[in-house]
Amino acid sequence: MDQQDYDKTFDVGKSDSKKLQAAFSQVSDIRKFEIELYWKRATYFWALIVVAFAGYFSVLSTEISKVENKYFLSMVIACIGFVFTFAWFLSCRGSKYWQENWENHMDLLEDAITGPLYKTLLERPDSKSFFERFVTGPLSVSVSKINQWVAVFVLFCWLYLGCFSLYKSVLHKYITLPNYSMELIHGLVIFFALLCCALMFGFGKTHKKAQNPKVVGRYVKIKE
């Protein structure tokens, strides 16, 4: 389907078309619904991740006499937390896919209904004040992209905690780390935290360039 086929399918350009008005109204409602679902999913996964973190540190704080191998149990919990976080990361990308789908429909349908309202951005002029530009002023960032970077950082944390528990549970019998290794690992955690913040700032911006989406039709037919 090309641009002409799309316009013909939804009567784009005909402001009095009931099909166009109904399509635009439905797209607007579905977009709002997708945003609500996005935050509901985020809350759901964050609840699971917080419980996993609490369980991990609760096991580690338990006296060894009460738990035969608390490091093994903590490794299992770290794996559970890693899976939950990876599922959250994929959920963020899936939500972004559908949200972008309906936003593209709005961009293509809105001209004859409301004019290019959704596509027109009214931005504050650049300020010369340092604090206004980098602290208190608005910034064109994508909330969904920021969440994805947070998910990446949490994935790294679970990976680190899982490796720590694995080493304490089994590998310490066969591998002896040098004295300076813990300092290096601590430095690596701090470095990755700062790196994720830098990547959020550099690659978390809202996409404002021209969009040229490709149309993928999904057809449904009852099997005879």
d(CA 218, CA 213): 15
Quick one: what percent of the chain has pLDDT higher than 90?
Answer: 46
How many CB atoms neighbour CB 41 within 10 A? 16
Q: Where are the alpha helices (DSSP H) in the chain?
A: 3-10, 18-60, 70-109, 130-131, 143-169, 181-203
Q: What are the pLDDT digits (tens) for 1-26?
A: 788 888 888 888 888 888 999 999 99
Is residue 114 helix, strand or coil?
coil
Q: What contacts 23, CB < 8 A, 6 or more positions away?
A: 10, 105, 109
Inter-axis angle of helices 18-60 and 3-10, nearest 10:
110
Q: Where along the chain do its domains lie?
A: 3-203
d(CA 18, CA 16): 6
Q: What are the pLDDT digits (tens) for 154-201?
A: 999 999 999 988 888 876 667 777 777 777 888 888 999 999 999 998
The vertex-70 CA angle with 43 and 85, nearest 5°, equals: 25
pLDDT number for residue 182 = 72
Is residue 141 helix, strand or coil?
strand
If you ran DSSP here, which 8-state letter would residue 116 be given? S
Q: What are the pLDDT digits (tens) for 57-82?
A: 998 888 765 556 888 899 999 999 99
Cα–Cα distances in Å, from 170 out to 2, 58, 85, 175, 197? 59, 20, 25, 9, 34
d(CA 74, CA 162): 8
Question: Token pair of 147, please?
Answer: 């969440």
